[in-house]
Amino acid sequence: MNPAAAQPALPLDRLVVTPAADAERIELDVLFVGAGPAGLAGAIELARLVKRDNETGGGLGDVAIGVLEKAEALGEHSLSGAVVNPNALRELFPELADKDFPFRGPVTKEAVYLMTAGGQVRIPTPPTMHNRGHFIASLCELVRWLGVKAEELGVNVFTGFPAAQLLARGDRVMGVRTQAAGLDRDGKPGAGYAAPNDLIARVTALSEGTRGLLSQAFFEWQRVAADNPQIYALGVKEIWETKQPLDRVIHTMGWPLGDAFGGSFLYPLEPHLVALGLVVGLDYRDADTDVHVLLQRLKLHPLVHGLLAGGEMVEWGAKTIPEGGYYSVPRRRSGDGVVVLGDAAGLVDVPSLKGIHYAMQSGMFAARAIFAALKADDTTAARLAEYDRLVDESFIMRDLYHTRNMRLAFKDGFYAGGFKAALMTLTGGRFPGGRIAVEADAAVERMAAPGASPTFTPDGKLTFSKVDAVFKAGNATRDTIPSHLIVGKHVSPELARRRLRGGERCVAGERAQLRGLQSHRRAGPPLDAARRGQRPQVQADVSGACRARAPYYGAPSQHRCPLSPPGRLTQTFGHTTSLYQTTT
């Protein structure tokens, strides 16, 4: 079963548009799209450079800097729990000490386990995974703290506005258009309707995070390629208040993943507050793989069960992670009036499990390149290519190059990949020489076991259904919003059958179902519709974690349930996603 065969084309005509003369508009000098670590760090660095220039008589004058964020409040789309390399924060705030940053504490102990179904073996921590000198943090708390710092410097932060379209003239990016709010299921203005706004900027910095819709549109529109397609993992995370304390960072590999790539983590935010998660590469071959269910099974393992017993799950979330590494980073991350930052550009190092400081550093590099462009009154692609040079010559790309093939080695399975990764570590990345080629996640052939899909019955105390989990994400989705899935026209009977069998297994609770088709007056059963070559449709109901839609169906911008009908995701409507709150 090859899901990529049913993948529709990215609708560039809907994603890259010309600014409308009569649209409501806000004019800025620089706009950062996405208030995560990359966008906020870039805005802070740029504001400081401008301030310093004006204080020293540089003559640049006022520069209007804006940050556009789809969440209703900063941090609401950043689930707590991370281990952070502090170097980027130290560079961004040289006047502050580590104790002044919003960290929960330093990593003082860590352990790595190889898991079996009934036990575990502690193994030496791989060199790339050592966290000595790093800090445990709540990511949503870090984002809120950065937001305060940005506003103190005069940066305009606009929350609650999803960016839906790139504005362009010719090859030049002019800004973004926000998504209209308050649309009904038919796409017509309803109660609380708010028209879209155009935000026009001399430079637009796309800091949308993993699988950013506009970043994907930019790369495809400008035909910017990489040596390998980007591949992804899906991470499902829970925050637990526990009765038992946890005094160390724990990572695991092996069970319950079988031959899929991935592992779990447990991070102590406080002695009795734990971030627990499972990350699985989306190049898995078993069509019945369900990351949420795997995490629930993991909690039944003695190593984890003993920690969580008697506790309470307080938050849940899911997101994708770019895993392609060095060979999947686009050859350029800039253009006329635009730069692409952080996770949106694939700047994540999987072997070290790090990306936050790379995202922040890329934002700082972008700020320096943008500042020089504004000083020269030249924001063309040639001038903004300075951003690419800064990234390419920095520790970011050096780190990614050092581990360039480690994640890719696991395309042949967990144990073969582990052996190859060990050789790569011993040789400093020189083995095996050259690039390991991989295919996009959607192009990986899936094998479906005959008969019914495996079932899992949650107990509601330690293990939970997806519906209960999405509730813990603070989901604020309206039931009447328009569907934001673009459905493929040709779905094979086999693929339709798998989608129907997996309808309850969507990672974030969406009940995406195939039903009868427009081309026929009578809507037959979904499977019969697929056999007749009819076009499938999707119910408009969406989930609280659309960014976690697995790239199971491949190629850019379909943040979608691994088992929903093949299609692509456009921007959501209004505040229809997770609201993460845990900060204490």
At 452, is the pLDDT very low, low, confident or very high (cuts 50, 70, 90)?
low
For residue 447, give the H/E element and its range.
none
Angstrom distance (rounded) from CA 111 to CA 516? 52
Average pLDDT over residues 507-536: 38
At 497, is the pLDDT very low, low, confident or very high (cuts 50, 70, 90)?
low
| Token representation of residue 110 | 């860590």
Pick the more confident residue, 543 or 360: 360
- pLDDT at position 518 is 30
At 20, is the pLDDT very low, low, confident or very high (cuts 50, 70, 90)?
confident
Could you tell me if 168 and 75 are in contact, meaning their C-beta atoms sit under 8 angstroms apart?
no
Q: Sign of the C-alpha dihedral, residues 480, 482, 486, 491?
A: positive
At 185, is the pLDDT very low, low, confident or very high (cuts 50, 70, 90)?
confident
Angle at 266 between CA 264 and CA 271, to 5 degrees: 175
Candidate from 329-343, 389-403, 527-541, 555-569 with smallest mean pLDDT: 555-569
Minimal CA–CA distance to 581: which of 233, 176, 75? 75
At 480, is the pLDDT very low, low, confident or very high (cuts 50, 70, 90)?
confident
3-state secondary structure at position 89: helix
Q: What's the CATH class of domain 24-80+144-183+191-226+329-402? A: alpha beta
Q: Sign of the C-alpha dihedral, residues 385, 388, 393, 394?
A: positive
Phi-psi region of 61 (alpha: psi -120 to 50; beta: other; left: phi over 0): left
At 493, is the pLDDT very low, low, confident or very high (cuts 50, 70, 90)?
low
At 191, is the pLDDT very low, low, confident or very high (cuts 50, 70, 90)?
confident
User: Per the omega criterion (within 30 degrees of 0), is the bond before 196 cis?
Assistant: no
| Whether the predicted pLDDT of 545 surpasses 50 | no
At 516, is the pLDDT very low, low, confident or very high (cuts 50, 70, 90)?
very low
Angstrom distance (rounded) from CA 362 to CA 274? 29
The residues, any chain, with a CB within 8 Å of residue 313's CB and separated by 6 or more, are: 238, 239, 240, 464, 472
Phi-psi region of 346 (alpha: psi -120 to 50; beta: other; left: phi over 0): left
Q: Sign of the C-alpha dihedral, residues 583, 87, 135, 363?
A: positive
Domain ranges in the chain are 24-80+144-183+191-226+329-402
Per residue in 46-98, pLDDT (tens digit) is 999 999 999 999 989 999 999 999 999 999 988 778 999 999 999 999 999 99
Average pLDDT over residues 289-298: 95
CB atoms within 10 A of CB 358: 29
Angle at 46 between CA 41 and CA 47, to 5 degrees: 100
Minimal CA–CA distance to 476: which of 179, 185, 76? 76
At 504, is the pLDDT very low, low, confident or very high (cuts 50, 70, 90)?
very low
Angstrom distance (rounded) from CA 277 to CA 279? 7
Per residue in 108-124, pLDDT (tens digit) is 999 999 999 999 999 99
Candidate from 10-24, 52-66, 470-484 with smallest mean pLDDT: 470-484
Say which residue the tokens 């060095």 belong to. 326
- pLDDT at position 570 is 54
Phi-psi region of 204 (alpha: psi -120 to 50; beta: other; left: phi over 0): beta
The one-letter amino acid code at 492 reads S
- pLDDT at position 532 is 46
- pLDDT at position 145 is 98
Average pLDDT over residues 422-440: 89
- pLDDT at position 82 is 93
Pick the more confident residue, 308 or 562: 308
- pLDDT at position 564 is 32
Candidate from 236-240, 461-465, 536-540 with smallest mean pLDDT: 536-540
Percent of the chain with pLDDT over 90: 67
| Whether the predicted pLDDT of 3 surpasses 80 | no
| Token representation of residue 564 | 């929903």
| Whether the predicted pLDDT of 234 surpasses 80 | yes
At 505, is the pLDDT very low, low, confident or very high (cuts 50, 70, 90)?
very low
- 37-55 vs 139-152: helix axis angle to the nearest 10? 20
Do strands 120-123 and 110-115 pair parallel, antiparallel, or not at all (unpaired)? Answer: antiparallel
Angstrom distance (rounded) from CA 27 to CA 42? 19
Per residue in 313-331, pLDDT (tens digit) is 999 999 999 999 999 999 9
Average pLDDT over residues 147-158: 98
- pLDDT at position 582 is 57
Average pLDDT over residues 172-179: 96
The residues, any chain, with a CB within 8 Å of residue 279's CB and separated by 6 or more, are: 233, 234, 235, 262, 263, 264, 265, 321
- pLDDT at position 205 is 98
| Whether the predicted pLDDT of 99 surpasses 70 | yes
| Whether the predicted pLDDT of 566 surpasses 90 | no
At 333, is the pLDDT very low, low, confident or very high (cuts 50, 70, 90)?
very high
